[in-house]
Structure 1
């Protein structure tokens, strides 16, 4: 195998929590942005159910091919040519996701912190950091995340408890003001932003006990969904549904409402720390996945050989595809969910059906 390291199912679960919760600070609370307004918490509950369906399909597929690398079982199911083509599509998926998140953190830094810094400098610094982490392999990424995640959790709950007194519960009325359609739309958009399922398909061959992933990933999904619901509740309760919907950096702006006795205030670094640490792990994971699949496809000895060309592509795409933060936000709410569903549900479901029809892989998974 191209990747020699192994990780536990629990470490994969921690990665899931970090990657999803890294979305809570910048253009986050996707259901709010999608128009669910004060009913966004309901949309997030439905989103969890949809995420579990996606995880079920991917796990059902991958566990039929224990120990086989991603590109190997694609070729086993579809044949060499079609399997290689699908692998190329997933290289694009992870590269594009890395570029979108790189542009997100660059735009956020320019708007809120380093307003006079050239954007290319910020993007390069982040890309070099994530490229270095990706070069160390899956095991090191998982261990690094085990150090970072507890810090994120402490900062997250610190911000949450400090904001409780600022919540206006009247902001959640009336329930279902515009019916169930906005809630369903919010659930679709939110679950479509869940970009971890495809990584499970890539990483599962490197899990010590793959079958334990079912329980771990369900638990991880429930934990991250709870965190998203709490964050959404705070944002709507503090800012109100109208302001929350139109704000680009609603999670970050909410932190600015913290004020205790004119002493505990200006805690913007809380939000900044959660976002930066989580986003570095997120981009590192997807950067690594793009390099790993490419290395498997071209039968290279190490995925490190592809860090520079794929990194250059990520940087270029992040600068070319999105002209500003507003366009990126519209993309995350409109095109991004549909794009992700293709890779996170449609293709895996097609592959699972094809594997069953062609009787490929092991039964009873």
Structure 2
């Protein structure tokens, strides 16, 4: 049973014309989570390895998955109190106009900055491994234009594009996974708990702090056809992507060894180069490149879209689509200004990035949920 604690105000907000006209299914949101969370062949996919968990990184990823489920639970519980209410309106309802607008601005920063970090990641990867002679600006511009165009077409198009992209990623993922199985040296995963639990806890903290889908759930939930189905769908999606990352971590550490896996920047991509069957099936770098590019384009488009949508909600604009050009310019500039090279970006992902994300994906949602409960805002299950 649902009790409405503030019916008049909630009806007024739900009666407003929503800025986003499209609707998607809970299952489509789950597929987006899997695409964004699952990345076999990029630095962040084995970030627990980079954090120093070494051969116990797979244990850190298991703990990270549990933390991710808690984070999703918090943001879903918050969003379910305000069904049909857009993200910026929800913040104003809970915190008041001034504080609500300020937090909305912070989330706009989060989405733009995240887009810039992902753009710099794919640019640095492409230059280091594939397009060595290509100017970084050209690669960044092409990726940003592609992701921006998908985002410009709206949430439905993002979800439908992902339904095309995800099966390709899954096929490539399992192809790489099974081809690498025979290359695994299981001794590289021993001894378990050699350095105690501290490295595992540190790896879990860093890995779960890199789970960047939670804030987007809060933004997208008002546009889900049956939002209450999201609890099961997102939990399932989180488990699927978590298991995929766990397997990827086992493969990378097992193939490369904990020392090389930790010190290598593009560990997942380089692991694919170990594939060799009868001197015939080898040089499968395009598999790594395809997973990397496809997953990152979808990821950038999601955060690009969220930054423009929340900006439109905050300033009560009739349309948010004209914001893509200025937002794209800012993202492009940020990707160059904040990250000088791939090594600096990798250090950022392991040190500052998790703390930055925890603020927006756990601290703020938990604060908002507690505040909404104390102030008796929204609807409450009884």
Give the TM-score range, shorter chain. over 0.9
Partners of 1:228 and 1:27 in 2: CA distance: 10
TM-aligned CA deviation for residue 312 of structure 1: 0.5
TM-aligned CA deviation for residue 63 of structure 1: 0.3
> Is the alpha carbon distance of 1:236 and 1:279 closer, same or farther for their aligned partners in structure 2, counting shifts above 3 Å?
same
SS of the residue corresponding to residue 150 of structure 1 reads: helix
Please say if residues 92 and 99 of structure 2, whose CA atoms lie closer than 8 Å, have aligned partners that are also in contact: yes
Moved over 6 A (4+): none
Q: Which residue of 2 aligns with 1:194?
A: 211
Please say if residues 88 and 310 of structure 2, whose CA atoms lie closer than 8 Å, have aligned partners that are also in contact: yes
Partners of 1:317 and 1:66 in 2: CA distance: 34
Partners of 1:247 and 1:186 in 2: CA distance: 16
Q: Is 1:33 aligned to residue 50 of structure 2?
A: yes
Q: Is 1:144 aligned to residue 152 of structure 2?
A: no
Partners of 1:23 and 1:254 in 2: CA distance: 10
SS of the residue corresponding to residue 301 of structure 1 reads: coil
Q: Which residue of 2 aligns with 1:251?
A: 268
Q: Which residue of 2 aligns with 1:330?
A: 347
TM-aligned CA deviation for residue 25 of structure 1: 2.5
Please say if residues 105 and 279 of structure 1, whose CA atoms lie closer than 8 Å, have aligned partners that are also in contact: yes
Q: Which residue of 1 aligns with 2:71?
A: 54
Please say if residues 312 and 320 of structure 2, whose CA atoms lie closer than 8 Å, have aligned partners that are also in contact: yes
Partners of 1:21 and 1:48 in 2: CA distance: 12
TM-aligned CA deviation for residue 327 of structure 1: 0.4
Match of 2:372 among 338, 347, 355: 355
Q: Which residue of 1 aligns with 2:119?
A: 102
Please say if residues 272 and 288 of structure 2, whose CA atoms lie closer than 8 Å, have aligned partners that are also in contact: yes
TM value normalised by structure 1: 0.99
Q: Which residue of 1 aligns with 2:5?
A: none
Q: Equivalences for 1:67-146 in 2 at 5 Å?
A: 67-146=84-163
Q: Which runs of 5+ in 1 are unaligned?
A: none
1:242-272 per-residue CA deviation (whole Å, 9 max, x = no partner) reads: 0000000000000000000010000000010
Please say if residues 66 and 205 of structure 1, whose CA atoms lie closer than 8 Å, have aligned partners that are also in contact: yes
1:202-260 per-residue CA deviation (whole Å, 9 max, x = no partner) reads: 00000000000000000001100110011000000000000000000000000000000
SS of the residue corresponding to residue 363 of structure 1 reads: strand
Q: Which residue of 2 aligns with 1:311?
A: 328
Partners of 2:226 and 2:99 in 1: CA distance: 29
Please say if residues 26 and 275 of structure 1, whose CA atoms lie closer than 8 Å, have aligned partners that are also in contact: no
TM-aligned CA deviation for residue 23 of structure 1: 6.2
TM-aligned CA deviation for residue 303 of structure 1: 1.6
SS of the residue corresponding to residue 380 of structure 2 reads: coil
1:136-193 per-residue CA deviation (whole Å, 9 max, x = no partner) reads: 0001100100011001000000000000000000001111111000000000000000
Q: Equivalences for 1:157-168 in 2 at 5 Å?
A: 157-168=174-185
Partners of 1:100 and 1:167 in 2: CA distance: 32
Q: Which residue of 2 aligns with 1:271?
A: 288
Partners of 1:37 and 1:5 in 2: CA distance: 44
TM-aligned CA deviation for residue 70 of structure 1: 0.2
Partners of 1:28 and 1:134 in 2: CA distance: 24
Partners of 2:163 and 2:173 in 1: CA distance: 16
TM-aligned CA deviation for residue 7 of structure 1: 0.3
TM-aligned CA deviation for residue 300 of structure 1: 1.3
Q: Which residue of 2 aligns with 1:11?
A: 28
SS of the residue corresponding to residue 178 of structure 1 reads: coil
Aligned residues: 365
TM-aligned CA deviation for residue 21 of structure 1: 1.2
Q: Which runs of 5+ in 2 are unaligned?
A: 1-17
Partners of 2:232 and 2:349 in 1: CA distance: 29
Q: Which residue of 2 aligns with 1:154?
A: 171
Partners of 2:123 and 2:358 in 1: CA distance: 25
TM value normalised by structure 2: 0.95
Q: Is 1:176 aligned to residue 160 of structure 2?
A: no
Partners of 1:215 and 1:175 in 2: CA distance: 33
TM-aligned CA deviation for residue 27 of structure 1: 4.3
Q: Which residue of 1 aligns with 2:19?
A: 2
SS of the residue corresponding to residue 22 of structure 2 reads: coil
